A = this chain, B = another copy of it.
Amino acid sequence: MIKDSDFIKNSEVPGPTKEEIRCILLCKSEVSNGDVVVDIGCGTGGLTVEFAKKAKKVYAIDLNPVATQTTQENVSKHQVEDKVEVILADGLETLDELDDFDVLIIGGSSGKLPQIIKKGYKKLKKNGKILVTSILLETATEAIYTFKELSLKPEVVNIMISKGTPSSRGTIMFSNNPITIVSTKKF
């Protein structure tokens, strides 16, 4: 995995999604090298880059031009330009223009999470995965409610990571903020 510090950052954009969370999302997505991935709310591009390394194609979408620019910079830095299309646009609207895909990651939704989940689920291929990452309590429950409306039983995982680096005094543990992943598979 790419170290957190190996991503170009911009203080106006959240992220990158931390290494361990990227690991877990890659695992849960079951992404493979023929897959098309859509990353809505790509932010710094941490997930975009990691998924690009495993998938056939990643569409990285964000409403914020600083985010798409930062993502593009990370895509270049990590040499996955040929697999990534960065799109400065509304995630919900962009879904209409995309062909069916295998993995949908939702890290930002500009208040349209239920609609993105519903439209995204329709366009997801069979056995495809939707993964919602949330740092807001409300996003996690909104995702759960929406999946329930679709008669789906999402998996809900909350992850708290603390990291320490040994110093002369000992190993101080510093916490990352908790993340909740709400995900499901299309049957």
What is the interface of chain A, defined by CB distance below 8 A to chain B?
1, 19-20, 22-24, 26-28, 30, 135-141, 144-145, 147-148, 153-166, 169-178, 180
Contact = CB atoms under 8 A, between A and B. Distances in A.
B156 A137 contact: yes
Copies of this chain held together in the complex: 4
A62 B159 CA distance: 30
A21 to B, nearest CB: 9
B175 A175 contact: yes
A180 B148 CA distance: 23
A163 B155 contact: yes
In this complex, which of A26, A139, A172, A180 has the most chain B Cβ atoms within 10 angstroms of its Cβ? A172
B23 A136 contact: no
Given A158-B161, A175-B175, A169 B136 contact: yes
Contacts of A137: 137, 140-141, 144, 156, 164, 170-171, 173, 180
Contacts of A166: 144, 147-148, 153-154, 156
The 10 lowest CB-CB distance pairs between A and B, nearest first, are A136-B170, A175-B175, A23-B27, A138-B170, A156-B164, A160-B160, A158-B162, A137-B171, A141-B141, A1-B27
B135 A172 contact: yes
Contacts of A22: 27
B157 A161 contact: yes
Contacts of A154: 166
